[in-house]
Structure 1
Amino acid sequence: MIRLPIGVYVEKGVDWLTIHWSSFFVGIKVGIESIIDGFEFIYIGIPFVIMLVLIAALAYVTAGKRTAIFSVAGCLIIKSIELWEMTMSTFALVTTATLIALLIGIPLGIWMSRSDRLNKIMRPVLDFMQTMPAFVYLIPAVYFFDLGPVPGAVATIIFAMPPIVRLTSLGIRQVPADVVEASRSFGATPKQMLFKVQIPLAMPTILAGLNQTIMLSLSMVVISAMIGSGGLGDVVLKGISQMKVGDGFEGGLAVVILAMILDRITQSIGKSKKAKG
């Protein structure tokens, strides 16, 4: 059996991109780094008490009293183990990755819902993005963006984007045909039909995609710490490398608390949208 030199071609492609597209990657690095630093400056700059009140209020409005109490208790636990700033750094990275994934994923999902050809092309691409081991994304990311939070964010975006793309396309495709025909019969333009009929009806499904994207972003925290992204992943990684079980557990606990708070809030927003629909 002849061995296909796929790895050789991939390495040559990465080397070519690194040499000829270096300015492009530098521009992306500066842009993403600025966004991460901006979110981190805001999250860490807000006093803990004010941030606690904001999180509690958001949780109460979206998910109710129990989630608000859990969110407050979780934040107090994180503060008590002195990992609040690390948590906010991780939250800044997750916010950046999720925001960029949404800016790319939602328009792409809309396009896929309107084009069967693109849908057939993108399905295996999304399968590849989601099933490829996350560690593999770190290698070219480091080549293009060096060490630091930016390659971690890029790898996170690639890994976490498929759910929002898939569920945006699915949600729009599942809008009842009779509703679409009714809006068309009333003279709605394609743009009006998309923004006033299809997207509002598909919003619960799109929000489910948002939830999955956030959860996948958080699952990359420890992995991206291997290339210097910092935050809670760095705490867990040091606990593993130095055999400090307690430190690693505390870092993991903070990740779990952050994930549960974000999960409850985004799920509740999706349920409320579905109930209104």
Structure 2
Amino acid sequence: MLSLVADSGQNPEEITMNGCGVLNPFDCAKLPLAAWISDGLRWMVENYRPFFQTVKAPFDAVLQSLTHFMTSAPPTLVILAIMLLAWQLSSWRLAASLTAILVFIGFIGVWPDTMTTLAIVLTALFFSLAIGIPLGVLSTRSQLLYTVMRPILDGMQTIPAFVYLVPVVMLFGIGNVPGVIVTVIFAVAPVIRLTYLGIRQVPEEVTEAMRAFGATDRQLLWKAQLPLALPTIMAGVNQTLMMSLSMVVIASMIAVGGLGQMVLRGIGRLDVGLASIGGLGIVALAIILDRITQALARPRGRPGEVWAHGPAAAIGYAMRFFRSTRNQPQVAGSE
């Protein structure tokens, strides 16, 4: 309830500016919002803790699988895979640059922590896209839904990241999985907003033309709206990745491992070197993820253009050359 200030026995007109009155109404009543939030969160923990542990299970499964894969894979194979991916999506120059960055990460001694952080960020990205893109699409179908979501998204993007830690710890505990959950809550807003914006920016002429040819809502979405909105959606993906990396250090306060934990230990010990190499690892990982997502967002002139160069084109050329050399003796023998 509102806690009212005791009546002084005076008329409202006689109350001065220093007392409770029209000119200073905030001394008259106080809304105990902090107590309500604390009581509500405590009630949720006492009554719905098993439910939140069930919600935690899919995050745990995906994170454990990715962490095991990233930390057990030989560094040379990981570097080779990222190099080939960058070459295929962009150019050999980008592939060489990302390879040099990964080699640098390995030689400064933060490779295991980088792979742990990468697994956390990719898990957070997976769930952010699984939640954000459908919500963004649904928002374009219902203006009421977006009107309701808009102030929520504003709050999610402006509330300090530290505020998320207390309720997440109370509901889910500590460790890498709660770190993924708090990262998803913190970073999902950009992909929702930019999915909504990208689909809204699809030209009305395209929509009307597809409707005229009898396209259903699903065909309109998959054949026109999502492909045309892809650059904007990928910008949202890029922002989600960057916000996830910015959350790594903050989430290390709830026992999340990886580079953030290294930075936190360096700060706690006043060890500038340890904090610096952890920060350099985060910067290097941010550059790698940013360049790859930018390459994915680059518009293509025609379908299948991405396979017309890079390692895929080289493998295709080698296979055609091998087939031609095998067929030459058969043609000569038949003559």
TM-score normalised per structure 1: 0.97
How many matched pairs? 276
1:122 aligns with 2:128: no
Pairwise CA distance, 1:65: 2.3
Q: Which amino acid aligns with 1:50?
A: L
* Per-residue deviation, residues 165-211 of structure 1 (Å, max 9, x unmatched): 00001111111001100000000011111111111111111111111
Q: Which amino acid aligns with 2:285?
A: L
Q: Which amino acid aligns with 2:167?
A: P
**Is the contact made by 1:63 and 1:264 (CA closer than 8 Å) also made in structure 2?**
no
Pairwise CA distance, 1:59: 1.3
Q: In 1, Cα distance between the equivalents of 2:95 and 2:149?
A: 39
**Equivalent residue in structure 2 for 1:68, among 92, 95, 99:** 95
**Equivalent residue in structure 1 for 2:109, among 67, 79, 82:** 82
**Equivalent residue in structure 1 for 2:131, among 98, 101, 104:** 104
**Equivalent residue in structure 1 for 2:41, among 5, 9, 14:** 14
Alignment partner of 1:21: what SS? helix
Q: Which residue of 1 aligns with 2:79?
A: 52
Q: Which residue of 1 aligns with 2:306?
A: none
Q: In 2, Cα distance between the equivalents of 1:103 and 1:21?
A: 24
Alignment partner of 2:98: what SS? helix
Q: Which residues of 2 match residues 122-141 of structure 1 at below 5 A?
A: 122-141=149-168
Q: Which residue of 2 aligns with 1:146?
A: 173
Q: Which residue of 2 aligns with 1:209?
A: 236
Q: Which residue of 2 aligns with 1:175?
A: 202
* Per-residue deviation, residues 133-191 of structure 1 (Å, max 9, x unmatched): 00000000000111101221111101100110000011111110011000000000111
Q: Which residue of 2 aligns with 1:92?
A: 119
Pairwise CA distance, 1:33: 1.6
Instruction: Please tell me whether Structure 1 or Structure 2 has the larger radius of gyration of its CA atoms.
Output: 2
Pairwise CA distance, 1:272: 2.9
Q: Which residue of 2 aligns with 1:226?
A: 253
**Looking at both structures, which has the greater relative contact order when contacts are Cα pairs under 8 Å and sequence separation is at least 6?**
1
Structure 2, unpaired ranges of 5+: 1-25, 304-335
**Equivalent residue in structure 2 for 1:40, among 67, 71, 74:** 67
Q: Which amino acid aligns with 1:59?
A: A
**Equivalent residue in structure 1 for 2:268, among 234, 238, 241:** 241
Q: In 1, Cα distance between the equivalents of 2:146 and 2:223?
A: 23
* Per-residue deviation, residues 63-95 of structure 1 (Å, max 9, x unmatched): 322221121111111111221111010011101
Q: In 1, Cα distance between the equivalents of 2:202 and 2:85?
A: 29
Q: In 2, Cα distance between the equivalents of 1:267 and 1:169?
A: 19
Q: In 2, Cα distance between the equivalents of 1:84 and 1:203?
A: 32
Pairwise CA distance, 1:276: 5.5
* Per-residue deviation, residues 34-57 of structure 1 (Å, max 9, x unmatched): 211110111111111111100111
Q: Which residue of 1 aligns with 2:16?
A: none
Alignment partner of 2:298: what SS? helix
Pairwise CA distance, 1:230: 0.7
